[in-house]
Amino acid sequence: MTTSFWKTFGIVFVVAFAANVVTSWALARAFPGQWRWDTTTATAASVAIIMAWAYRNGGQKCSDAARTKTLALFTDGKEISNDDVQRALGVSDATATRYLDALEKSGDIVQVGTTGRGVVYRKR
């Protein structure tokens, strides 16, 4: 795991922990005997793990090099399938799907068809 993952985890953990302490304190005042440190810590850790994972896996799904290589496949109005991207770039089905999805979301290409083997992509 990268440093940014642990940095994000630490920041989110501290914020979530502090928020849980305040909430627990308020609940303890409203309902005596409700404050439980193990719950507070577990909740903060869970929130931090989820947020750090989301941060790490968010962002750009297609590197600039992969984007350039994938767009280069679209020559002369040619339609490209997921299988074409897999073969040309030597990547897995899931990776080819991520690349094509990222290009579709950015507006560079458009999907023709809805599901299955009939789906192809065309450059805008």
Q: Where exactly are the structural domains of the chain?
A: 3-57, 64-123
C-alpha pair distances (Å), 100 with each of 43, 52, 64, 115: 36, 25, 13, 14
pTM, to two decimals: 0.51
pLDDT digits (tens, 9 = 90+) for 6-27: 777 778 778 877 877 777 777 7
pLDDT digits (tens, 9 = 90+) for 89-113: 998 888 888 888 888 888 889 989 8
Yes or no: say if 97 and 62 are a contact pair by the CB < 8 Å rule. Answer: no
Q: Class of 64-123 per CATH?
A: mainly alpha
